[in-house]
Amino acid sequence: MDTTERECAINWLLIICVLSNVLMGCEGRDWADIGYNDGYAVGYNETCQIRTTLIEGKWGNKKYAQAYERGYTNGATACRNK
């Protein structure tokens, strides 16, 4: 195997590793946890008038949307009680 073939093999191996990591990372997301955290941050920041918050906004996901509402309520309450 010459240098060019070796470099090509290494490049393909690297591409395969990166793609597998990207695809596996998509499966393990806990949308309820993400939704709660997003809602809490927005509820707290809006109630305390701190700043605008960037969120995932995956409103089509039922778990995300329900957890977002709970998080928003708890975040707003935490701001009022500080």
Tell me if 41 sits within 8 A of 72, measured CB to CB: no
Please indicate whether residue 77 or residue 14 has the higher confidence score (pLDDT): 77
Sign for the CA dihedral angle at 24, 30, 35, 37 comes to negative
Please indicate whether residue 50 or residue 24 has the higher confidence score (pLDDT): 50
> For 66, which DSSP code?
H
Domain ranges for the chain, please list them.
3-80
Q: What percent of the chain has pLDDT over 70?
A: 85
CA 63 to CA 77: how far, in whole Å? 21
Q: In the prediction, which pLDDT does 55 show?
A: 94
Q: In the prediction, which pLDDT does 82 show?
A: 87
